[in-house]
Amino acid sequence: MAGAMTPSIGVNEAALADYLARELDLKGGMTVTPISGGQSNPTFFVTSGDRSLVLRKQPEGRLQKGAHAVDREFRVLSALTNTDVPVPRPLTYCDDPSVLGTPFYVMERIDGRVFHDASLPDLSPAERRGVYLSMAKAMAKLHAVRPENIGLSDYGSPGNYFERQVSRWGRQWRESALTGMPEIDQLERWLFDNMPDDDGAVSIAHGDFRLGNLIFDRDSTRVAGILDWELSTLGHPLADLGFCCMAWRTTPAEYGGIRDLDMAGLGIPTRTEFVDEYYRHATPTAPLEPFHEAFALFRFAVIFVGIAERSKQGNAVGDRAAELEHLAPAFARRGLEITG
């Protein structure tokens, strides 16, 4: 067995093997492989015999309050397991720091395809269209679940979701050590000045619902699993829909958007077609407004600020974290474009 690896990105395989032997009766040889590409909680494939698992752990170092809440991920996955929302089955959660240094959980690995390039270069036009429309349907399926029916009535604070969220992310931005991004300040002011009335809609909001956080079947465009629930909470369904629409608002150079691509030639639905597909399958929901998309871009701008800060501290997960700082003001500018 290997010893401890770099704390922020690795695991002590011997300690993990001992823990999984106790909790899941996992015996025999074990391999642990880091999954690259993430910017948040370190994630690993774990293989032992015929068992294929995934481990997600909290990173080391100073963390912002409420961030990297792997316990919440485990809870929401456990609650959704017996619904028709496609999620990997969670198996065990550990908050004992003597095992891997930080809290972690283990879930079953879904065999499928993950697409990190939103242009889907290896698919046919028909498959590209199917993937995007399946994404809209999977989101609508999630939002149709009533939190109180699966033990999640206290998973967040219902009501005034957008007001609380703009305040939260604005506070996180102002507490950052990074400066010189007036676009974020300007967009925050616009959001407060154009806050919609609370319509009482409450759903399980994923918080990071995008193509790269979905697993698709090997042989179809059906969504087989929704991943990365770190930012999930009780919220407004239009927060997820607005967030998912960022792909159409940003370019490939801006964290892999699809703006300016030949979407008709590629077979990718237009933003309007995508939104219409969501509403065809959603429970009654208010129309998507510029506010919802501008808010999504504001929030992701602040997320990029956090990634840049973790990079400067030396505990960011992604190899490219230091390169992403410029995307914070870029996303805020995209949000300001929507405001007119």
> pLDDT at position 4, please?
32
Separate counts of helices (H) and strands (E) for the chain: 12, 9
Which pLDDT score, from 0 to 100, does residue 89 have?
A: 97
Q: Are 275 and 241 in contact (CB under 8 A)?
A: yes
Report the pLDDT value the prediction gives residue 337, as an integer from 0 to 100: 97
| The one-letter amino acid at 296 | A
DSSP strand pairing (90-94 vs 104-108): antiparallel
Q: Which residues are 204's β-sheet partners? A: 234
Q: What is the pLDDT of residue 335?
A: 98
3-class DSSP string for 105-150: EEEECCCCECCCCCCCCCCCHHHHHHHHHHHHHHHHHHHHCCHHHH
pLDDT at residue 195 in the model: 97
The tens digit of pLDDT for each residue in 78-91 reads 999 999 999 999 99
C-alpha span between 13 and 216 (Å, rounded): 29
Strand ranges (E), the chain: 31-34, 43-48, 51-57, 90-94, 104-108, 203-205, 214-216, 223-226, 233-235
C-alpha span between 316 and 307 (Å, rounded): 6
pTM, two decimal places: 0.89
- Whole-number pLDDT of residue 6: 34
Q: What is the pLDDT of residue 238?
A: 97
Which pLDDT score is estimated for 321?
Answer: 59
Predicted pLDDT at 316: 55
CA 175, CA 169: separation in Å to the nearest integer? 10
Confidence (pLDDT) at 74: 97
The pLDDT of residue 314 is 66
| Residues of the chain where predicted confidence (pLDDT) is lower than 50 | 1-8
